[in-house]
């Protein structure tokens, strides 16, 4: 819409030959040359910063997928019943509780990053005794991680896992916590609003004044040139807006639902269970 309005205004300026009522507005191309280069540089810098945030967010969620799969392998390989103890069922239940909490952990992180309060979808993955405490927790992922640490400690006390091997699982839990904290850092530290606002205003001012600087030089071609320049600048400006908050619900944000569902399916399959919900396909990104 902004591009259309800008192009229509360029057509009107061309038809009026640069006259605003009875006043001839004379501008040369020099101010636009001096202004256009730094504007393009700053737009590029902002988009680079926005893409860094987007790509770091994607790497962190890739780390979460990796660590959850490692946790599944470590729990089922390292946590084993004492020989001839007849505790196989108890150990299997411990495996399930640990991995169910890992599923709840990634879903809770997704909800927290998106400021969603619907925590009811976590309930199937949390032991009934822990559910009231989780509801009251200010940070649901942290509360779940605390319970996973306690479960690991109990397995060690019962002799189900060697202390050296318990350290490996604890390192995996710490890596999950670190990835979650880094996601919270990205969400809690947006691109400075004043910087974004200045670029918005400068880009709009540049594009709407540009016809007055071109009409005396290129005549009827002014609307075409203005449309191309405006498309570039408005597009770069919009691009930064699209990707600077990677954890949102917009079409071009990270597909957190898909990633969480993939983790859920993978961990359930490692337990020999089948998810009632299939994996989601990666979203088709939209050009807006």
Beta-sheet pairing, 23-24 with 19-20: antiparallel
The predicted pLDDT at position 129 comes to 92
Tokens linked to 244: 């600077």
Tens digit of pLDDT for each residue in 51-89? 999 999 999 999 999 999 999 999 999 998 876 567 888
Poorest-pLDDT segment among 137-141, 154-158, 239-243: 239-243
Q: Where are the beta strands (DSSP E) in the chain?
A: 19-20, 23-24
Query: What mean pLDDT value characterizes the chain?
Result: 86
Instruction: State the pLDDT confidence band at 113, using cuts at 50, 70 and 90.
Output: very high
Distance CA 139, CA 105 (A): 10
Distance CA 177, CA 282 (A): 25
Distance CA 97, CA 127 (A): 7
Poorest-pLDDT segment among 14-28, 81-95, 182-196, 198-212: 14-28
Query: Looking at the predicted structure, is the pLDDT value of residue 200 above 80?
Result: yes
Average pLDDT rounded to a whole number, residues 120-146 = 93
Q: Indicate the pTM of the whole model.
A: 0.85
What stretches of 189-255 show up as alpha helix (H) in DSSP? 193-218, 222-243
Tens digit of pLDDT for each residue in 8-31? 888 887 777 766 666 666 666 777
216 Rama class: left (phi>0) / alpha (psi -120 to 50) / beta? alpha
Contact in structure between 210 and 8 (CB atoms under 8 Å): no
115 Rama class: left (phi>0) / alpha (psi -120 to 50) / beta? left
Poorest-pLDDT segment among 29-43, 66-80, 84-98, 198-212: 29-43
- Which DSSP letter does residue 120 get? G
The predicted pLDDT at position 110 comes to 96
Distance CA 242, CA 47 (A): 10
Give the CA angle between residues 265, 268, 274 to the nearest 5°: 80
């Amino acid at each position: 819409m902004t591009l259309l309005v800008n192009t229509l205004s360029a057509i009107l300026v061309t038809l009026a030959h640069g006259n605003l009522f009875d006043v001839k507005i004379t501008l040369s191309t020099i101010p636009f040359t001096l202004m256009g280069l730094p504007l393009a540089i700053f737009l590029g810098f902002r988009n680079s910063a926005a893409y860094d945030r987007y790509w770091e967010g994607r790497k962190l969620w890739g780390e979460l997928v990796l660590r959850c799969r490692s946790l599944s392998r470590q729990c089922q390989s390292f946590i084993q019943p004492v020989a001839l103890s007849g505790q196989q069922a108890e150990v299997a239940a411990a495996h399930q509780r640990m991995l169910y909490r890992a599923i709840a952990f990634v879903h809770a992180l997704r909800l927290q990053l998106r400021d969603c309060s619907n925590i009811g979808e976590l309930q199937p993955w949390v032991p009934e005794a822990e559910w009231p405490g989780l509801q009251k927790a200010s940070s649901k992922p942290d509360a779940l991680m605390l319970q996973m640490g306690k479960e690991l400690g109990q397995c060690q006390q019962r002799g189900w896992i060697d202390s050296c091997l318990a350290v490996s699982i604890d390192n995996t839990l710490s890596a999950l916590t670190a990835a979650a904290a880094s996601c919270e850092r990205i969400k809690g530290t947006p691109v400075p609003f004043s910087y974004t606002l200045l670029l918005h205003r400068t880009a709009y001012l540049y594009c709407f004044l540009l016809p007055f600087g071109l009409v005396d030089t290129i005549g009827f071609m002014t609307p075409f040139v203005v449309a191309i320049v405006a498309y570039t600048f408005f597009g770069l400006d919009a691009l930064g807006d699209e990707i600077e908050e990677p954890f949102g619900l917009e079409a071009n944000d990270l597909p957190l639902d898909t990633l969480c569902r993939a983790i859920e399916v993978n961990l359930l399959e490692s337990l020999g269970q089948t998810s009632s919900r299939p994996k989601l396909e990666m979203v088709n990104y939209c050009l807006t």
